[in-house]
Amino acid sequence: MNSIQDKRARILAAGTEVMLRKGYNGTGVQEITQGAGVPKGSFYHYFESKEDFAIQALHYYYTPRLERFANALAASDVSPRERILRCYRDLVGYFANQEQPTHQCFIGSLCHEKADESQPIGYAASAILKRSSDLLADCLEQAKAAGELPAQSDSQALAGFIGAAWEGALLRMKIDRQIGPLRVFIEQLERLLSH
């Protein structure tokens, strides 16, 4: 990685971490550059604005997560239905192992603050959520083909519903400060995907 890419990556990593903790409005450019160990002027060399940074940070944060999700849903060691359930069980396990389950859903937090005001942020978040939903819908189609779901199931609609339910469960976990909402999500997902 050359020094330009390295500096940009450091700014993205530091700034994303701050925005996850403090939100868009609570994060200043100076705090981002201090965390990255670069001069404040460097920020505007790589990003047109704080809004541009937030859009690039969304992609920086979610690209590896979408790749892991895609790989998990493509695993060939278990059936399509089990791949989906294993993905979400693993996520619940991750949060269950935290001393106090907390989660900042970057898309959720950013959209809550800025989606009404910033069309570009809304579009970027929507594209990420659509990609996640499409990956899930593909696996649901495979589950249909394998006879694990009814043939008349609408995979796109079901994927959208599961994604929205997961986002809601994460929000409730954050509010309630306990893992219960995620356990309810898994129980209901198992019922929803039973044939």
Q: What confidence tens digit (pLDDT) does each residue in 135-187 have?
A: 999 999 999 999 999 999 999 999 999 999 999 998 898 888 889 999 999 99
Radius of gyration of the chain (CA): 19
Averaged pLDDT of the chain? 92
Give the span between the Cα atoms of 162 and 181, in whole angstroms: 14
Rounded to the nearest 10°, the torsion over CA 89, 95, 99, 105 is -170
Task: Please name the residues in contact with 133: beta carbons below 8 A apart, sequence gap of 6 or more.
Answer: 156, 159, 160, 163
Task: Please name the residues in contact with 127: beta carbons below 8 A apart, sequence gap of 6 or more.
Answer: none
* pLDDT over 80 (residue 58): yes
pTM of the model: 0.90
Segment (H or E) for 164? helix 155-176
pLDDT class of 132 with cuts at 50, 70, 90: very high
pLDDT class of 70 with cuts at 50, 70, 90: very high
